[in-house]
Amino acid sequence: MIKLKPSVEKLQAYFVNDIPYRVKLDANEGSNYLLQDGFKIENFQPNLYPDSDSRVLREKMAVYYGCRAENIMVGNGSSEMINMVINAFCDKGEKVMSFVPSFSMYQTYCDLCGAEYIGIPSEKDFTQNIDKLIKEATENKTKIVILCNPNNPTGFMYTRTEVIKLLENVKDSLIILDEAYVDFSENSVVDLVDNYENLIVMRTLSKAFGLAGLRVGAMIAKEETIKYVWKVKVPYNINILSQYAAEQALDNIERVKSYIEGVKKLRQELSFTLRKLDFTVYESGANFIFVKAPVENLFEKLMDCGVLIRKFNYGGEVFNRITIGTKEENEILVEEIKSIMGGNQ
């Protein structure tokens, strides 16, 4: 067997659960509310490569994100672009910083290219101190700072003013604002990409559009940055079917907006219900909530009844992340939790 390079050999493969389920609340996917009846394809030519520039898709995204098509590059999910940007900018040993806990793939992408990943601990209550990040980023001569806002898995959300404070104070690092969940809050800084040449905003259709299966994400930045990063873009990275489907999804922005409002309401209702059941529920700006359950092994017990959530271990304690499902899915979740807790709640 030919050996992998040592930095890759030590990596853990991204593990995805494939156990049977009734209700799937473990991966922050949205509901199946757009395109569930399919999408139209005109003049289908699968013999040809897709539009490598995804021109039509970028123009439609530009309307939603409030920028120009020239500010956008699309990728096979925002994951592809986070990986691409880290790889394009970081040589071996250069530093990439984010808060921890956060999206685990940041560290993996750093390991892949030999960049040094530095995790800045969140506070005990999972809030994040922006001044601490500014100080550490500056003192460590960090090449890239990644801010996940709202943060996965904690749901913690910075205000725009705080994000702007980071942008104003850290000018020598590339700043990736991972806004995968920002549609569920109001704190995007996507409108500022022309003001800060070191800002790259990552967005995705996987969450608020409920289209994780299409694998379509967007990187939004100053036109010069986009042109620069285009050097490392894989040609034809969005297949023809995903381009068609995503373009048609973007013609339904009003439905997306009303879906987002629905999720926020359900997030509030589920948080309220779980707090009444003695859960600690952290404030969330995303389509999931981060909780500390009053019972042990909630993840395993729910899995036994076909309800999938996520489990995290921090500082010797167990926490769970629960995606906000449909009203019916949330009801099943709550019923199962009540029965696990003794049926007398």
By CB atoms closer than 10 A (0-12, 13-18, 19+), residue 177 is buried
Of the candidate spans 73-81, 126-134, 157-165, 251-259, the one that interacts with ligand PMP by CB under 6 A turns out to be: 73-81
Backbone conformation region of residue 66, classed left if phi is above 0, alpha if psi is from -120 to 50, else beta: left
Report how far residue 115's alpha carbon sits from residue 215's, in angstroms, rounded to the nearest whole number. Answer: 26
Strands (E), 107-225: 116-121, 144-148, 174-178, 199-204, 217-221
- Check binding of 180 to ligand PMP (CB under 6 A): yes
| Region binding ligand PMP by CB under 6 A among candidate stretches 65-73, 165-173, 204-212, 243-251 | 204-212
Measure the CA–CA gap between 291 and 59, rounded to whole angstroms.
39
328, two tokens = 């019916």
- Of 54, 78, 271, 287, the one binding ligand PMP (CB under 6 A) is 78
Strand order of the sheet with strand 95-100? Answer: 72-75, 217-221, 199-204, 174-178, 144-148, 95-100, 116-121
Asked if 206 touches ligand PMP (CB under 6 A), the answer is: yes
The encoded tokens of residue 110 equal 């750093």
Two tokens, residue 81:
């672009």
- Interface with ligand PMP includes 204 (CB under 6 A)? yes
Q: How far apart are CA 310 and CA 104, in angstroms?
A: 13
Nearest to 109 by CA among 80, 133, 77: 80
Question: Is the Cβ of residue 97 or residue 337 nearer to ligand PMP in the bound state?
Answer: 97
Considering only 79, 108, 173, 287, the residue that binds ligand PMP (CB under 6 A) is 79
As measured in angstroms, the least distance from the Cβ of 69 to ligand PMP is 19
Name which of residues 28 to 57 contact ligand PMP (CB under 6 A): 28
Minimum gap (Å) between residue 67 Cβ and ligand PMP: 18
Nearer to ligand PMP by Cβ, of 148 and 289: the residue is 148
Query: In the bound complex, what is the minimum distance in angstroms from residue 8's beta carbon to ligand PMP?
Result: 20
Residue closer to ligand PMP, measured from CB, 71 or 102 = 102
Report the residue number, 146 or 337, with the smaller CB distance to ligand PMP: 146
Run of H or E residues at 95: strand 95-100
| Interface stretch with ligand PMP, choices 46-54, 72-80, 222-230, 297-305 (CB under 6 A) | 72-80
242 lines the binding site for ligand PMP (CB under 6 A): no
Query: Which pairs count as long-range contacts for 106-111, CB under 8 Å and 24+ apart, including other chains?
Result: 106/82, 106/146, 108/11, 108/14, 109/82, 109/83, 110/86, 111/7, 111/8, 111/10, 111/11
* Contact call for residue 178 and ligand PMP (CB under 6 A): yes
Is residue 217 a contact point for ligand PMP (CB under 6 A)? yes
Q: 130-139 and 160-169 helices cross at what angle (nearest 10)? A: 20
CA nearest to 188, candidates 171, 153, 212, 164: 164
Q: Compute the least distance from the CB of residue 218 to ligand PMP, in Å.
A: 9
Distance CA 147, CA 98 (A): 6
Least distance to ligand PMP, CB of residue 68, Å: 21
Determine which residue in the list 89, 103, 117, 259 makes contact with ligand PMP, applying CB under 6 A.
103
User: Considering only 36-44, 75-83, 163-171, 302-310, which stretch makes contact with ligand PMP by CB under 6 A?
Assistant: 75-83
Q: Which is nearer to ligand PMP, 143 or 207 (CB)?
A: 207
Binding site for ligand PMP (CB under 6 A): 28, 77-79, 103, 148, 152, 178, 180, 204, 206, 212, 217
